[in-house]
């Protein structure tokens, strides 16, 4: 970015300008203007090459500095750096894609918490300059549902219209909120029933003891 702002990044990709000289044949010899322009191009290239090389070399660690100090061409330095470290970018891309595809939701965690993890994995892939459309992100997430959500997942798969990731997440929020409410209501009903049974049992027991006491008098 710094080199682009200075308009000198071209030396990283272009070769040293070819030297144009006058020939003995005046009819085919380049004009003085062309020769002067060529000389100016060469001088500019040499100046810009020195500037770029200076910054590249001075940003290196001591080990790299010693290794690349012998290079006089910024282009050769840049190509060597790309060859040495460019594979790291490829490796990172493979790593984030592998994590994204290996992601799987489970039943013993809140679904929305796991969805946030999935969104972050999608963001990691996008940050590596790999494009994923919203619909494809949603379809992949549909395959990551936990077993207890299989029916809900199948119903969504049979919808005729495509859903974006955010639309799918909205449906999931509503579904999980309803499931949590249903579970709470179910627990409350079970507790109420248990209390009622205990109360009836307690009353029945007290009546039995009361009858026995009266018979002894």
DSSP letters for 73-119: -HHHHHHHHHHHHHHHHHHHHHHHHHHHHH----TTS-HHHHHHHHH
71: exposed, middle or buried (Cβ count in 10 Å: 0-12, 13-18, 19+):
middle
Extract the tokens encoding 119: 């969104």
- Domain contains 92: no
pLDDT of residue 82: 79
- Last residue in a domain, options 34, 57, 86: 86
How many structural domains comprise the chain? 2
- Same domain? For 107 and 206 the reply is yes
How many other CB atoms are found less than 10 A from the CB of residue 126?
13
- Domain contains 98: no
- Domain contains 217: no
- Same domain? For 114 and 36 the reply is no
- Same domain? For 110 and 192 the reply is yes
Cite the DSSP H helix spans in the chain.
2-6, 32-58, 62-68, 74-102, 111-127, 134-142, 150-157, 165-216
- Same domain? For 134 and 204 the reply is yes
**pTM tops 0.85:** no
- Same domain? For 117 and 78 the reply is no
pLDDT of residue 16: 87
pLDDT of residue 216: 47
Structural domain of 161: 103-210
- Same domain? For 70 and 125 the reply is no
Long-range contact list for 171-177, CB < 8 A, 24+ apart?
A: 172/111, 172/112, 172/115, 173/112, 175/149, 176/110, 176/111, 176/112
- Last residue in a domain, options 59, 86, 113: 86
- Domain contains 97: no
Write out the chain's pLDDT in tens, 217 residues.
567 777 888 888 888 888 888 776 666 677 888 888 889 999 999 999 999 999 888 888 888 888 888 889 999 988 888 777 765 667 778 888 888 988 999 998 888 899 999 998 998 888 888 888 888 999 999 999 998 998 988 888 888 788 888 898 898 899 999 988 888 867 666 666 666 666 666 666 555 555 555 554 4
């Amino acid at each position: 970015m710094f080199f682009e702002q200075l308009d000198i990044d071209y030396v990283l990709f272009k070769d040293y300008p070819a030297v144009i000289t006058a020939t003995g044949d005046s009819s085919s010899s380049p004009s003085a203007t062309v020769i002067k322009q060529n000389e100016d191009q060469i001088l500019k290239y040499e100046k810009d090459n020195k500037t770029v090389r200076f910054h590249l070399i001075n940003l290196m660690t001591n080990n790299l500095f010693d290794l690349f100090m012998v290079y006089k061409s910024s282009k050769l330095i840049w190509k060597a750096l790309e060859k040495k470290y460019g594979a790291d970018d490829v490796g990172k891309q493979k790593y984030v894609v592998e994590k994204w595809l290996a992601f799987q939701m489970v039943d013993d965690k809140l679904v929305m918490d796991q969805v946030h993890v999935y969104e972050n994995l999608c963001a990691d892939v996008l940050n590596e300059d790999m494009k994923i459309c919203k619909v494809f992100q949603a379809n992949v997430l549909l395959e990551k549902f936990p077993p207890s959500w299989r029916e809900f997942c199948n119903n969504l798969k049979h919808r005729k219209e495509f859903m974006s990731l955010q639309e799918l997440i909205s449906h999931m929020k509503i579904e999980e909120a309803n499931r949590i409410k249903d579970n709470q209501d179910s627990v409350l009903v079970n507790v109420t029933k248990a209390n009622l049974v205990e109360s009836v049992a307690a009353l029945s027991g007290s009546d039995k003891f009361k009858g026995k006491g009266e018979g002894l008098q």
